[in-house]
């Protein structure tokens, strides 16, 4: 499945949602989060598991919902861990990532999407060589239509109730 986003229409939708009162906006954020959690997260975790099984457990732990009016998720973070298991800044020297070689889940996410690549330092990242890229397409195909349908139904219901004064 593929669709094109009309950014003018998208901006109009966000502007319209912004004109709702605070309670309605809060409800829209809660509904969008529930849609992301019930439809998007399972599809993404399943796609990661099928395309990158060696990294799926740790990468799936970083999948979380955003608090937005549209269903969305975040995948990965830049946390590095000390040898004692405490979180260090990603810029802190001596921290090692959760994965081999000190990689953070953001690095793993990128490698599982792209396959092998050259890092910013110019070194090839060979650990990702065996990864079949494309879990993002698999996940998108699984959740795009159901999530969009659930969101439009929720938005329409909220707008109807708001227009009636409830």
> pLDDT tens digit string along 94-133?
445 666 667 788 878 887 887 777 877 888 877 777 676 6
> What was the pLDDT predicted at 97?
60
Rounded distance between C-alpha atoms, residue 25 and residue 96, angstroms: 40
10 pLDDT above the threshold of 80: no
Which pLDDT band, with edges at 50, 70 and 90, does 149 fall under?
very high
In angstroms, the CA 64 to CA 73 distance is 5
- Rounded Cα distance, 151 and 153, in Å: 5
Sign of the CA dihedral 66, 90, 106, 100?
negative
- Check whether 135 has a pLDDT greater than 70: yes
Query: pLDDT by residue (tens digit) across 20-73?
Result: 788 888 999 999 999 999 999 999 999 999 988 888 888 999 999 998 888 999
| Residue 81 pLDDT class (50, 70, 90 cuts) | low
What pLDDT is recorded for position 93? 45
| Residue 68 or 86, more confident | 68
| In the predicted structure, residue 82 carries a pLDDT above the cut 80 | no
Distance, in Å, from the CA atom of 148 to the CA atom of 129, rounded to the nearest integer, reads 34
- Provide the pLDDT for residue 84: 53
More confident residue, 78 or 56: 56
């Amino acid at each position: 499945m593929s669709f094109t986003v009309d950014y003018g229409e998208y901006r109009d939708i966000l502007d319209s949602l912004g004109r709702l009162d605070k309670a309605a906006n809060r409800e829209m954020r809660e509904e969008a989060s529930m849609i992301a959690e019930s439809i998007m997260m399972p599809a993404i975790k399943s796609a990661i598991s099928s395309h990158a099984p060696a990294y799926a457990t740790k990468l799936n732990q970083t999948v979380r919902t955003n608090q937005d009016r549209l269903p969305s998720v975040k995948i990965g973070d830049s946390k590095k861990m000390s040898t004692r298991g405490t979180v260090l800044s990603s810029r802190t020297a001596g921290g090692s990532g959760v994965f081999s070689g000190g990689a953070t889940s953001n690095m793993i996410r990128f490698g599982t999407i792209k396959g092998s690549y050259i890092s910013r330092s110019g070194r090839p990242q060979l650990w990702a060589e065996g990864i079949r890229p494309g879990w993002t397409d698999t996940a998108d195909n699984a959740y795009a239509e159901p999530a969009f349908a659930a969101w439009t139904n929720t938005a329409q219901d909220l707008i109807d109730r708001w227009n009636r004064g409830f």
